[in-house]
């Protein structure tokens, strides 16, 4: 049986350098697909879909709300030809009723230990309209090593530099922040994977540089100590969401290869200033994630915030506009106040205003989004600041002799160049 798995394209943030990370959901999902199924993967951000290709079942893996409009077009094209389509992934869970209108089947929840039964149903002609495991997540020990071999790895580079590989050591998040959907997705629980399985997966990845996509590395202190201690000998370099703000943990993280973290910066307080300083003191760089449009922000507030980011010398900043994604706490409160202006999912890429801000007009907030990007990057674009971050990691790889680990051919050509008169 042949299954084509597709990751539909989505619009990148206006102003951000266009780069494409290897999709994570699809490769983790692929590990749950029985080996008897011949699986072919297409990342539409970088590959063209061949609608005439022969297959028995199409799977659409949809992570973002703004991916949905394209996912629906792709599904319609296959279904027109009589090829059944099953949807899964985060946006499928967040928009299940709407997605069901465009699908033969929808899969809600995590697929580990569950997808083989869907294939059995399909092969016996009885695939169900809905598979719903949202209230019953699998044991995190069932999460296997992602099947990264389904990716065409050569596509994932930026100007010749290999992109990071994505990996996760836990699921869920015990916090329930206002703009976030993870409470709904993961049941507000932290679910760590067994550390030996994580290490096995990290060892298998043919890349020095990783993005650990766990929601938050600040949920369980002892687990972090165990994880970072086990990771240190691998000498990988990695990016992550926030790490527990604690000197011992940050030191262990740095020793385990922490390269830079995404750190939410929501105000200009000393708490944030000190957090940034502590990260820097441990040699960990910072990509600030800054949400624009919260209720306390007006034009001056945003200007002060951008000045602050420049003053504390953030390495990189990613500005987004507050977006009321379905099943986030903020959507419920904005909806109750009648402040949602649009539910056109294409506009839900986090760079367009789709709600009524409290202290600005929607047009002013949109203008301030551009102001923030333009001002922060006035003395060098996003690509230049990213380039500096990459130079930092290359320097560390040279120091601990890991730079050529997955690229011995480069070492030989470098040595040859050096030996030439
Ligand atoms: C990693 C990540 C990213 C990465 C994605 C990289 C990549 N190429 O994969 C990057 C950094 C690019 C990213 C960007 C954004 N992200 Co993001 N991201 C995540 C994160 C942290 C983890 C996703 C993940 O990998 N999960 C682990 C995998 C294994 O789980 P999974 O995909 O659900 O897959 C399982 C099942 O769903 C199932 N499955 C998956 N596919 C399929 C297919 C079929 C057919 C079937 C049957 C089953 C199935 O099997 C898998 C195994 O069980 C989530 C939060 C979260 N907890 O999920 C946010 C999240 C998805 N992101 C979010 C947001 C808001 C964004 C941004 C829009 C804004 C921002 N800056 O954060 C940007 C995009 C901006 C833009 N326009 O360019 C929101 C989604 C909002 C929405 N509704 O659109 C989330 C939920 C976080 C939140 N704040 O609430 N993100
Ligand atoms: S924003 Fe981060 S810490 Fe807060 S609920 Fe979402 S994933 Fe957890």
Asked whether residue 254 carries a pLDDT value surpassing 60, the answer given is yes
The Cα–Cα gap between 382 and 373 comes to: 9
Kindly state whether residue 7 falls inside one of the protein's structural domains. yes
* Residue 323: other Cβ atoms inside 10 A: 22
| Domain annotation covers residue 278 | no
How much of the chain, in percent, has pLDDT values that exceed 90?
87
CB 208 within 8 A of CB 181: no
Judged by phi (left if over 0) then psi (alpha if -120 to 50, else beta), residue 119 lies in alpha
**Contact 311/376 with Cβ under 8 angstroms?**
no
Instruction: Please tell me whether residues 179 and 243 are part of one structural domain.
Output: yes
In 283-361, alpha helices (H) = 299-311, 329-336
Residue range 411-418: average pLDDT? 57
Instruction: Kindly state the average pLDDT of the residues 253-270.
Output: 96
What pLDDT does 414 receive?
53
Residue showing tokens 């050569």: 154
| 356-375: average pLDDT | 98
Tell me, yes or no, whether 119 and 168 share the same domain.
Answer: no
Cβ atoms of 382 and 316 closer than 8 Å: yes
State if residue 320 touches ligand 2 by the CB under 6 angstroms criterion: no
Atom of ligand 2 at shortest range from CA of 173: 8
Tell me the CATH number at 177: 3.30.750.210
The predicted structure's pLDDT at residue 407? 73
Whether residues 125 and 191 share a domain: the answer is: no
Residue-wise DSSP of 39-105: EEEEETTTS---TTS--SEEEEE--SGGGHHHHHHHHHHHHHTT--EEEESHHHHHTHHHHHTT-SE
Query: Which atom of ligand 1 is closest in space to residue 89's alpha carbon?
Result: 37
Q: Which residue has the higher pLDDT, 154 or 18?
A: 154
Q: Please report whether residue 188 resides in a domain.
A: yes
Look at residue 341 in the predicted model and tell me its pLDDT: 98
Q: Are residues 183 and 124 in the same domain?
A: no
Point out the domain boundary residue: 140, 172, 204: 140
Residue with tokens 């922000």, as numbered in its chain:
297
Residue 326 located in a structural domain: no
Average pLDDT, integer, range 158-166: 87
Residue nearest to atom 16 of ligand 1 (CA): 64
According to DSSP H, which parts of 297-361 are helical? 299-311, 329-336
Same-domain status, 93 and 213: no
Q: Provide residues with CB under 6 Å of ligand 1.
A: 11-13, 21, 23-26, 28-29, 59, 61, 63-65, 86, 88-91, 94, 107, 110-112, 166, 168, 180-182, 185, 213, 215, 318, 320, 325, 348-350
Decide if 95 is inside a domain.
Answer: yes
Domain count, the chain: 2
Q: Which ligand is nearest to the CA of 8?
A: 1
Q: Which of 264, 294, 315 is the last residue of a domain?
A: 264
For tokens 């169900």, name the residue: 128
The pLDDT value recorded for residue 418 is: 56
How far is the C-alpha of 344 from the C-alpha of 353, rounded, in Å?
A: 11
Nearest CA among 97, 255, 90, 252 for reference residue 171: 90
Confidence of residue 380 (pLDDT cuts 50, 70, 90): confident
More confident residue, 40 or 126: 40
From ligand 2's centre to the CA of 304, what distance in Å? 25
pLDDT given for residue 187 in this prediction: 80
Q: What is the CATH number of the domain that holds 44?
A: 3.40.50.280
Same domain, yes or no: 73 and 172: no
Residues 135 and 169 in one domain: no
Six-digit token pair at 303? 């200007």
Reply yes or no on whether the pLDDT at 55 is more than 80.
yes
Model confidence band, residue 49 (pLDDT cutoffs 50, 70, 90): very high
The pLDDT of residue 413 is above 60? no
Q: How far apart are CA 64 and CA 61, in angstroms?
A: 10
Cβ(218) – ligand 2 distance below 6 Å = no
Mutate to test the pocket of ligand 1, among 34, 63, 213, 218 (most ligand atoms within 8 A of CB): 63
The answer to whether 7 and 68 are in contact (CB under 8 A) is no
Question: Who contacts 73 (Cβ-Cβ below 8 Å, separation ≥6)?
Answer: none
Residue nearest to atom 7 of ligand 2 (CA): 215
Residue 175 Cβ < 6 Å to ligand 2 = yes
Residue 195, domain extent: 164-264
Q: Are 88 and 60 in contact (CB under 8 A)?
A: yes
Between CA 163 and CA 156 the distance in angstroms is: 5
CA of residue 223 relative to chain centroid, distance: 22
Whether 249 is in a domain gets the answer yes
Q: Chain-wide mean pLDDT for the chain?
A: 94
pTM: 0.96
Task: Examine residue 153 and state whether it is found in any structural domain, yes or no.
Answer: no
**89 shares a domain with 34:** yes
Kindly tell me if the per-residue pLDDT of 387 is higher than 80: yes
Domain's final residue, options 264, 299, 316: 264
In degrees and rounded to multiples of 5, residue 61 shows phi and psi of -105, 115
């Amino acid at each position: 049986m042949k299954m084509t798995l597709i990751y539909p394209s989505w619009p990148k943030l206006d102003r951000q350098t266009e780069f494409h990370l290897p999709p994570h959901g699809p490769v983790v999902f692929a590990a749950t697909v029985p080996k008897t199924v011949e699986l072919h993967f297409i990342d539409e951000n970088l590959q063209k879909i061949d609608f005439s290709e022969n297959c028995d079942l199409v799977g659409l893996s949809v992570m973002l709300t703004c991916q949905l409009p394209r996912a629906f077009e792709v599904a319609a094209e296959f279904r027109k030809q009589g090829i059944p389509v099953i949807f899964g992934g985060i946006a499928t869970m967040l928009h299940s009723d709407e997605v069901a209108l465009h699908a033969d089947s929808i899969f809600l929840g995590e697929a580990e230990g569950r997808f083989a039964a869907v294939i059995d149903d399909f092969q016996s002609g009885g695939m169900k309209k809905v598979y719903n495991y949202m209230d019953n997540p699998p044991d995190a020990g069932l999460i296997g090593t992602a099947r990264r071999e389904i990716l065409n790895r050569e596509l994932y580079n930026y100007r010749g530099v290999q992109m990071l590989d994505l990996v996760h050591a836990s699921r869920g998040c015990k916090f329930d922040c206002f703009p976030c959907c993870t409470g709904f997705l993961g049941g507000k629980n932290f679910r760590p994977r067994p550390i030996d399985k994580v290490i096995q997966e990290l060892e298998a990845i043919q890349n020095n540089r990783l993005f650990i996509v766990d929601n938050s590395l600040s949920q369980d202190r002892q687990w972090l100590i165990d994880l970072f201690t086990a990771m240190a000998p691998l000498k990988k370099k990695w990016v992550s969401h926030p790490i527990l703000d604690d000197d011992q943990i940050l030191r262990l993280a740095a020793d385990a290869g922490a390269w830079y973290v995404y750190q939410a910066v929501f105000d200009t307080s000393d708490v944030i200033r000190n957090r940034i300083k502590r990260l820097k003191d441990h040699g960990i760089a910072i990509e600030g994630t800054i949400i624009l449009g919260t209720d306390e922000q007006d034009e001056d507030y945003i200007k002060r915030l951008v000045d602050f980011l420049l003053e504390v010398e953030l390495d990189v900043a990613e500005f987004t506009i507050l977006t009321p994604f379905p099943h986030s706490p903020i959507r419920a409160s904005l909806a109750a106040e009648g402040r949602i202006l649009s539910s056109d999912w294409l506009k839900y890429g986090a760079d367009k205003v789709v709600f009524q801000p409290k202290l600005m007009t929607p047009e002013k907030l949109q203008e301030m989004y551009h102001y923030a990007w333009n001002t922060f990057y006035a003395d060098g674009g996003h690509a230049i600041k990213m380039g500096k971050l990459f130079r930092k990691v290359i320097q560390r790889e040279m120091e601990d002799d890991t730079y050529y680990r997955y690229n011995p051919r480069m070492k030989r050509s470098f040595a040859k160049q050096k030996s030439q008169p």
